[in-house]
Chains A and B, each alone.
Chain A
């Protein structure tokens, strides 16, 4: 303790002392926290805010860097080919959203409100599309509905042919609907689970017919979830690159336009312009989602009696049939992909062979690309988890600099509104600039490096991870930090000894999420990977471009197996963790 002023006499404290405002001098720990908060702020500034600013400003200049105002946008909307893709994108986005939210609602309802058999399996199957790149989805569709597809040819001639005209809007909508389905199911089943059983009991006691209960209790209860699901799916489709790239044919959408402008025509300015247009719906979705989230918190009461479905044979079997069909479709696409990678020559020589797995012979980088992807995903998982968890901890638990911390919170939720292609392009603009008007860019050295790929992946999937960590931290007793500081224990010790062990499930979940997403993503890295660092998911694009679809299927299968394997590891780890932590969770 510090020394006492000797002339302290209680009688003469007087008003002079009491009027003075008392400010506590920051301790060394306070400065450590402030330093860390500054680091996080700097990280978000460099990885999110500045690149985003670059893309906005680049859309307002011409290719020589001269200010042209909105001229680029005028060019965009007056070029017939380009303007049409805006309409196309809106059309496939609306349709796919409608289908995936509709199917997702039925599926979630079956999972949460019926007693159908095999619920656990159904829940697993519908999540499968999360583990493969969206373009793998489309490749699976080619093997079913393409020119030589299983369905198109009527099981290779056994049945009448059935050609749906896959290439174009049909294929995009099919692929995107499957691709978005897991997201819709995740959001809607959470919303349906939050229902209060007492509302249903009250409705029943008032002799309300089921359809009226559905309209007056069920739908209002999930309206926020429904809005959220619609926006999430719409954004996913609107910004997805993989599916239209593979099955879009001549049907142009914004994402493929950006790709063509940047890769094909080297027209970065037009790429930036289209990117900003692509940001419009994602930013709207972002704002709406934040408003909805705020409302939802107020809506969920503290003591909700969970709803338990009762057996109802008709409903249960109908639900089972419906989910069976949807899950069957998912399995068929994935199955077609895996089988096609394993047969000698589809559809002429259907004997099993591993020859397509000789990936080094195919374009795109072969096994080295796969190893690069593994390394990149591992780095993303490790560094991403550390960065996300530490910054969420600082935002939630520190008491220093409240304004800066709420800014950090906002900047951390921002990346969800940035489509991968936009992010990649923004990174080109920001990191590939050697200097701005004489001021050298200290981050220029990162360009064309593994580090930049990892940073890009971390930022691309930052928001979901950050919110997961922040939710886990919010559930801890807010007095833990106070106890530590009252007992004279430095905050980093309490962080290591208490906070981290208690959040371990969330930490593992974040790591797994980062790994799987980095493994399957195409859009964020396709502009950024250097020639000596080819990536598995990008190789799929290149193989498909070169017409080597079987190799693309093989590489996709490898990606699926890897991400599923990581997910299995996660489950095994959490099971062990649960056993280990049972002692302090059990009564």
Chain B
């Protein structure tokens, strides 16, 4: 772990694991059937996950879904009841945190308030037995890496939230870990700072190539930062995929609802390609081959609904109940027939063309390729 300090900082990460049985193509981190309960509460059940070397993975889910518990299990701060964890080919399940190879940034940063920024960064280096000169060099490197070279002598309370966050990141990276764990690292910051740091963290991660697992409940954060998103709900993994897959092909209504905005229409599958919602027959695609006759939920994103009199399938007449101006888009509340309600997002230009007015009928089309079909659970 230490010889990495001699090399340029970019090459130090993850380089210390030269297990000869471990090939570069194997997953770097592997979780196998992780199970965790707190008393009667099941925090995690049957979690299987593989993370590739250099990948940025986000654990995304509502609060209480178990994502932080999972991160703490990876760190060794919690012990799973069952299951195994491999990192770089080694079973680390039974190792205490101090013997694992990772750096972590906590939601609160947990910077030691009585130590300066530089002392905080050096905290783990001192213990690794690195001589003072090397230590100082390393701290200077890390301060430069996070763009805070001038701030080494400041105490955490004298730094802004964003600066504290970056010092915490530098402290987590100080020992050149093979794995970086981030627990909601941006949630304590202002919206503006958060947006800036999102980009910075991803750039840094790509530059260092350090495998990263981040926990967040913010879908925007996950969509913009992650290579792959792991959506979790009530202790289980619901879907794993790239941000585009997760957004465009949600596997369950939960994922569809949790990420982005989605319209849901209850209906019945009448034939393999057609569903009935109230009095309307809509063409759908049925890749999952849901049996005909099943109760289904049709889902479509507000921006996927088309406006205007096109003569193709799934065209409906809707009444505009109300609309909101959101800056780049208008959001319309529509009613179709007696009880079907839909949200529709229109760009300002489209809205102008369509001459949106309240109580004026509007022709909309639900393109079959954008309709997601879910079997309704009884």
Contacts and interface: CB of A to CB of B under 8 A. Distances in A.
A497 B127 CA distance: 12
Interface in A472-526: 477, 479-480, 482-490, 493, 497-498, 501-502
Contact of B101 (A1, A27, A483, A585): A1
Interface string B101-138: 11110101010111100000001101110000000000
A486 B75 contact: yes
A8 B104 contact: no
Nearest to B96: A27
Interface string A1-29: 11011101010010001111111110101
B157 A486 contact: no
Contacts of A488: 98-99, 124, 127-128, 175
Interface string B339-350: 000000000000
Contacts of B103: 486
B21 interface: yes
B195 interface: no
A581 interface: yes
A17 B97 contact: no
Contacts of B26: 10
B99 A2 contact: yes
B3 interface: no
B110 A17 contact: no
Interface string B162-201: 0000000001001100000000000000000000000000
B106 A479 contact: yes
A576 B177 CA distance: 40
Interface in B71-92: 75-77, 79-84, 86, 89-91
A13 B93 CA distance: 14
A497 B86 CA distance: 33
A583 interface: yes
A17 B106 contact: no
A587 interface: yes
Contacts of A489: 98, 123-124, 126-127
B158 interface: yes
Contacts of B86: 8, 10
Contact of B114 (A6, A581, A586): A581
Contacts of B82: 18-22
Contact of B110 (A10, A477, A585): A477
Nearest to B113: A584
B157 A4 contact: no
Contacts of B19: 4
A27 B76 CA distance: 13
Contacts of B330: none
B365 interface: no
B33 interface: yes
B176 to A, nearest CB: 12
B230 to A, nearest CB: 19
Given A4-B91, A10-B27, A489-B124, A18 B99 contact: no
Nearest to B159: A587
Contacts of A483: 104, 106, 110, 112, 123, 171
B156 interface: yes
Interface string B198-227: 000000000000000000000000000000
B95 interface: yes
A498 B110 CA distance: 11
A8 B127 contact: no
Nearest to B88: A4
B94 interface: yes
Nearest to A501: B114
Contacts of A479: 106, 108, 110
Contact of A1 (B99, B108, B127, B158): B99
Interface in A432-485: 477, 479-480, 482-485
Contacts of B77: 482, 485-486
B71 to A, nearest CB: 11
Given A4-B91, A487-B123, A488-B124, A22 B106 contact: no
A317 to B, nearest CB: 42
Contact of B84 (A17, A480, A482, A485): A17
B113 A502 contact: yes
Contact of B33 (A18, A485, A587): A18
Contacts of B127: 487-490, 493
A182 B206 CA distance: 62
B12 interface: no
Contacts of B370: none
Q: Which of B86, B96, B102 has the most CB of A within 10 A?
A: B96
Contact of A24 (B22, B96, B113, B158): B96
B95 A24 contact: yes
Nearest to A583: B155
A486 B91 contact: no
Nearest to B153: A583
Given A4-B89, A479-B108, A486 B114 contact: no
Contacts of A29: 96, 98
18 contacts: A1-B95, A4-B21, A18-B82, A18-B83, A18-B84, A22-B82, A22-B84, A23-B94, A24-B95, A30-B96, A482-B106, A483-B123, A486-B98, A488-B98, A488-B175, A489-B126, A489-B127, A583-B155
Interface of B: 19, 21-22, 26-27, 30, 32-33, 75-77, 79-84, 86, 89-91, 93-99, 101-104, 106, 108, 110, 112-115, 123-124, 126-128, 155-158, 171, 174-175
Given A18-B83, A488-B99, A584-B115, 17 more contacts: A1-B90, A4-B21, A18-B84, A22-B83, A479-B108, A483-B171, A487-B171, A488-B127, A488-B128, A489-B124, A490-B127, A493-B127, A497-B115, A502-B114, A583-B155, A584-B113, A585-B113
Interface of A: 1-2, 4-6, 8, 10, 13, 17-25, 27, 29-30, 477, 479-480, 482-490, 493, 497-498, 501-502, 581, 583-587
Top 9 A-B pairs, shortest CB-CB distance:
A487-B124, A479-B110, A584-B155, A18-B33, A488-B98, A4-B90, A479-B106, A485-B97, A489-B127
